[in-house]
Chains A and B, each alone.
Chain A
Amino acid sequence: MSDDVVLGHPTPAAVTDRICGIVLHERVGLWWWIALAASSALLGLGVVSVGWLFWKGVGVWGIDWPVVWGFAIINYVWWIAIASGGTFISALFFLVRVDWRTSINRIAETMMLCAAASAGIYPILHLGRPWFFYWLFPYPNTMTLWPQFRSPLLWDFMALLTYVVASVLFWYFGLLPDLAAMRDRARGRGAQMFYGVLAFGFRGTGGQWRHYKAAYGIMAALMAPLVVSVHSVVGLDFAGGETTGWHSTQFPPFFVFGALLSGFATVILLVIPMRHYFSLQTYITERHFDALGKLMVVSSLCMAYAYIMDVFTTFYGPDPADKTMFVARMFGRYAFVYWSTILFNVLLPQLLWVRRLRLNQPVLILVCLGAIVGMWFERVEIVVTSLHRTTLPSAWGDYWPTFWDWALMAGTIGLFLTMFLLLIRIVPTMSIAEMRELVRKREA
């Protein structure tokens, strides 16, 4: 196996031509059109289900007492976790100067953007009266009301708003030199104007580079703690409530661990087909799969620690309601959810201890799909099984999603895939500027 992050010795010019060429000069394969048709169909289903939701209200979902948080929260947390994993790769690994990050950074960032969009629509939709969502923001109003600043739900609004805006700006800022390269390589007048306007006149002058590098570095340094804070706040949405199974101090790091696992898994699942269909074997090598596979193992072990602590604190603690709920979680009617979580998030990723399996793409795809499904089950476990056995036995109840729950979830998957498929046809799939720098430094 080669440990190189780039195979052979491509020149900076070859790197630029290859990556620009994918978008500017190469025709897309049939696979892209099929994928776009399928994802658009899912997106269409999502639009219909949002329309129906607005028309009828949240009663079209399966939520009711005592399980008042259902798919909207489950899927919001699931998507925002996937997005967060992308930010870790693009920001944290930039700060520690990991060389293999360069090839997959743009894929991770684009994934983050699409997942954040899919996450971002849920908090609005789950409000009973979504048209009043702006009441969450402290603005001067005739009711002289203020939002409750001590509530984790308001923190979540601020954290998500900051995360989505900052992600878009960070992604776009990183694109500037590449958009300039696209402008200069484009042949048609329309493409030249399109990329010319998007590049804002970036020409790589001495001043532009100096300020660009300084700003990008600090943005990355801010994005890394931001993403930890965002997912910690999501954990606090739960931990802040005095609900069985939620009221735990380990929730913020527990949620961040989950974000790592599902984010890395999604990046791998996107990198494998893109490497194949865009023939990027020169730039995405076995080294990348090796490194990402190891990260899967690390984040899976972190999850295992969190699951063990979840059991330990419950049964070591004094609350009988907590213990009753946890027994129901492990052996009740939702036991399959709990054990699927353990299987997919803890046991299956252990395969990747073996180097040969890390480099085996079918195995890697299987483990990553498992982790994404497992992380979704984990959110079902946290939301549904905690609520369905509350402290008051007379209030116990079940939850099953309706067709419209599933339809909206399919719609967000459609939104994610449609956005991603369109973006990889518009912007370079790799950071050209960083890749040029990488190959230049290697040759030096």
Chain B
Amino acid sequence: MIVAGFGSAEALRRAVASLAPEGARVETFTPDDLDEATEPTKSSAVPIIMLGAGLLGGFGFFALQAYGTMSGYPINVGGRPDFSWPPFIVNAFEFGVLCAIGAGFLGFFAINRMPKLFIAEDACDELREASRDGWFLSVRGGDPKRVRALLDSVGPIALKEWPE
């Protein structure tokens, strides 16, 4: 495995681009979203999960209220029909939002397979700079010699190689 750090986002992007034809597995570690400027079209599944959970929670709670007032415990309040649904919208909205935010929180961890407190790349101490101002990548597989030569050509500020 090779871990290399660069001084700028541009340098890291160049390094990632140069490694693309090598068929190696590349992962980036950055203090800010690297993709934001270059690949805005790359989408995330989290919004869909949040939408689904929000709709399910909202409509589910609406149905629960309808069942409760129509079948579970019908009670005449001011002569209103049992299915006097407009007041149910408030609870349905609140519960829908709760489900959506909860699903976003949990969905983020599930998609990223977190919590993952230790990873192989931690062997490179310099990787800590990735949460400060260092732009890092790790490379698994590929031809180590070629990968190293390509990374050296971009000019890394830190580079560590060790057998996987």
The answer to whether B97 and A162 have CB atoms under 8 Å apart is yes
What is the total of A-B residue contacts with beta carbons within 8 Å?
A: 184
Nearest CB on A from B127, distance (A):
8
A380 contacts across to B, CB distance below 8 A: none
The interface on chain B, measured as residues whose beta carbon lies within 8 A of the other chain's beta carbons, has a size of: 61
In angstroms, Cα B32 to Cα A180, docked, is: 12
Which residues in B have their C-beta under 8 angstroms from that of A146? 68-69, 72-73
**Contact yes or no, A185 B132, CB < 8 A:** yes
- Interface SS majority for chain B: helix
A159 and B61 CA atoms in complex are apart in Å by 13
B108 near A: Cβ within 8 Å? yes
Interface pair B108/A173, CB less than 8 Å apart: yes
Stretch from A42-50, A59-67, A214-222, A304-312 contacting the other chain: A214-222
Q: Which of A181-225 contact B (CB under 8 A)?
A: 181, 183-185, 196-197, 200-215, 218-219, 222-223, 225
Q: Distance in Å from the Cβ of A140 to the closest Cβ of chain B?
A: 10
Task: Report the separation of the CA atoms of residues A185 and B54 in the bound assembly, to the nearest whole angstrom.
Answer: 37
With CB as the reference atom, state the residue of chain A lying closest to B105: A169
Supposing A197-B117, A209-B35 touch, asked if A215 and B102 sit within 8 A by C-beta, the answer is: no
A229 CB to closest chain B CB, in angstroms?
6
Nearest A residue (CB) for B64: A138
Q: How far is the CB of B154 from chain A (nearest CB, A)?
A: 17
Say yes or no for B95: interface residue by CB 8 A criterion.
yes
Most buried by B among A155, A162, A181, A225: A162
Question: For chain A, what secondary structure do more than half of its interface residues adopt (helix, strand, loop), or is it mixed?
Answer: helix
- The reply to whether A211 and B44 contact each other, CB–CB distance below 8 Å, is yes
What are the residues of chain A within 8 A of B104 when measuring CB–CB? Answer: 173, 215, 218-219
Interface residues of B (CB under 8 A from A): 27-36, 42-47, 50, 54, 64-65, 68-69, 72-73, 75, 77, 80, 84, 87-88, 90-91, 93-95, 97-98, 100-102, 104-105, 107-109, 111-112, 114-119, 121, 127-133
CB distance from A219 to the nearest CB of B (A): 6
The complex places the Cα of A212 from the Cα of B114 at a distance, in Å, of 12
Smallest CB-CB separation from B116: which chain A residue?
A201
Interface size range of chain A in the complex: 35 or more
A158 on interface, CB distance cutoff 8 Å: yes
Which residues of A sit under 8 angstroms from B29, Cβ to Cβ? 203-205
Which residue of chain A has the shortest Cβ distance to B133 in the bound complex?
A13
Contacts of B27 in A (CB 8 A): 205-206
Which residue of B has the minimal Cβ distance to A177?
A: B131
Listed stretches A327-335, A344-352, A432-440; interface member:
A432-440
Do B90 and A219 have beta carbons less than 8 Å apart?
Answer: no
